[in-house]
Chain A
């Protein structure tokens, strides 16, 4: 009996101490970590009165100001940088790896690591004030190729989105299977801006990718989905110049959005779209591109295969996209270019474009990096 009583007393003591410590932590959190109300002033004019204690990233999010972040605030993507002019304190060890010397001199901070403890003055790009978080449902999932899916997302709250063709959103992947935190990944919008209650994105499977595996293997029509946006500065400039577009694979997304927008707005500029692929099975939305050729007065879709198979029975352009582009470019006069894809492809195409007389300042790109 004696050892059993001792055991019971010991268990009771441990439970009591644990409870006491838990209560202490709650009190400490409510008092020591309670920074009270503070004011965050953004761009010298927008003021947010908030409760201190949380990260700048999540505090701004609670005020519906969405700073881009791919890792959900875990300090592992380095995207959520914000200039903090006042009220930040010392740079934290967890921020150091992400900030260059120049950024530190300019008071750039990693907003997911920086706690809001007192009044702050920050500077963020104006476009971020137009960014919203959307709750939505998956309306449809369509296979475009063996590894690219088109997602159509119907907005719920808010029920409408405003965006310029060429922009991207950050799609949230909730915790699933092997993950225990939501993450965000960026995808260009491929739908027309005139359609305000739903959006489309094209998502290519990435081996070991958290978001693409979720979309390809787990997400179903009817599922709820969250995204924020729109972001980015890739868009058709308002000029009368002829347009060259170059993008392959899921890089087509912003180009398609721009082309659809041109149809809606009656923009009649000359456009040539060079789409690079390896074999015929890598081509997609060919019918849609042909349809756009009929709707725009001077648009040509030019797919180029670098390694067509005999069974492809291919009569179109062949070779690397840079070679095909070079063959087609007569001169760079009155031309501007829009490129979307990998840094390597973009760098190579920029060389061809500038060699053909297109000024660098008239070459616009969305480098995947």
Chain B
């Protein structure tokens, strides 16, 4: 699908070596608009919204931050570790502001599954519905996030 010039610029910013080493797209060569539409469909089929997913990611991040860089137990059965390194990253969609290089690791002890995400990824999901390209190293599948972070359609 044809996309706006703004999305084309964002897609260029997402290429390897522009903001991060491996970028945000992986080998996915679709237009960004198509990636966004597909993931939007997946999220809707889960009965969720991007904002809801982003909120849950942020909630666990904030709880995990109390561990000061070390694992901390977050009810009911999560181990969360939040680490920050020096520097900030811009959003590839070109908005103002920079995002701290903070990584949140969430281990769901009940399922044994783990997800890792950055502050920038929280923003990209909540504000842009962007989960990264298919097979991108750092892609977060909406279904995986929903399962590991236990986000259900009733969570409002």
Q: Do A and B bind each other?
A: yes
Please name all residues of chain B whose beta carbon is closer than 8 Å to the beta carbon of A306 when the two chains form the complex: 67, 70
- One of B28-36, B98-106, B107-115 at the interface: B98-106
> Does A70 touch B at the CB level, under 8 Å?
yes
Minimum CB–CB distance from A252 to chain B (whole Å) comes to 13
Q: Let me know if A187 and B22 touch, CB within 8 A.
A: no
How long is the Cα–Cα vector from A207 to B85 in the complex, in angstroms? Answer: 11
Among B20, B22, B96, point to the contact of A98 (Cβ < 8 A). B96
Please name all residues of chain B whose beta carbon is closer than 8 Å to the beta carbon of A307 when the two chains form the complex: 70-71
Minimum CB–CB distance from A35 to chain B (whole Å) comes to 28
> Does B86 touch A at the CB level, under 8 Å?
yes
Contact with B along A322-360 (1 / 0, CB 8 A): 100000000000000000011111001000000000000
Closest to B90 in A: A76
> Does B94 touch A at the CB level, under 8 Å?
yes
Please name all residues of chain B whose beta carbon is closer than 8 Å to the beta carbon of A345 when the two chains form the complex: 68-69, 84
Q: Let me know if A76 and B18 touch, CB within 8 A.
A: yes
Among B71, B84, B90, B103, point to the contact of A369 (Cβ < 8 A). B84
Please name all residues of chain B whose beta carbon is closer than 8 Å to the beta carbon of A369 when the two chains form the complex: 84, 86, 88, 100
> Does B87 touch A at the CB level, under 8 Å?
yes
Q: Let me know if A248 and B95 touch, CB within 8 A.
A: no
Q: Let me know if A208 and B86 touch, CB within 8 A.
A: no
Please name all residues of chain A whose beta carbon is closer than 8 Å to the beta carbon of B22 when the two chains form the complex: 178, 208
How long is the Cα–Cα vector from A206 to B100 in the complex, in angstroms? Answer: 13
Select the residue from A180, A186, A209, A250 with max chain B CB neighbours within 10 A: A209
Minimum CB–CB distance from A312 to chain B (whole Å) comes to 14
> Does B133 touch A at the CB level, under 8 Å?
no
Please report the total number of A residues contacting B with Cβ < 8 Å.
43
> Does A53 touch B at the CB level, under 8 Å?
no
Please name all residues of chain B whose beta carbon is closer than 8 Å to the beta carbon of A98 when the two chains form the complex: 96
Among B23, B85, B96, B97, point to the contact of A178 (Cβ < 8 A). B23
Q: Let me know if A179 and B21 touch, CB within 8 A.
A: yes
Closest to A214 in B: B21
> Does A303 touch B at the CB level, under 8 Å?
no
Given contacts A186-B87, A206-B101, A342-B102, contact A320 B67 (CB under 8 A): yes
Please name all residues of chain B whose beta carbon is closer than 8 Å to the beta carbon of A76 when the two chains form the complex: 13, 18-19, 90
How long is the Cα–Cα vector from A187 to B70 in the complex, in angstroms? Answer: 22
> Does B41 touch A at the CB level, under 8 Å?
no
Closest 9 CB pairs of A and B: A179-B17, A342-B84, A97-B96, A178-B16, A368-B86, A306-B70, A178-B17, A208-B20, A344-B65
Residue pairs across A and B with Cβ atoms less than 8 A apart, 24 shown, are A74-B18, A76-B90, A77-B98, A99-B96, A175-B17, A177-B17, A178-B17, A210-B20, A278-B69, A278-B71, A306-B67, A320-B68, A341-B69, A341-B84, A342-B68, A342-B69, A342-B83, A342-B102, A345-B68, A368-B84, A368-B86, A368-B101, A369-B84, A369-B86
Q: Which residues of A contact B (CB under 8 A)?
A: 70, 74, 76-78, 96-99, 175, 177-181, 185-187, 204, 206-210, 213, 248-250, 276, 278, 306-307, 320-322, 341-345, 348, 368-369
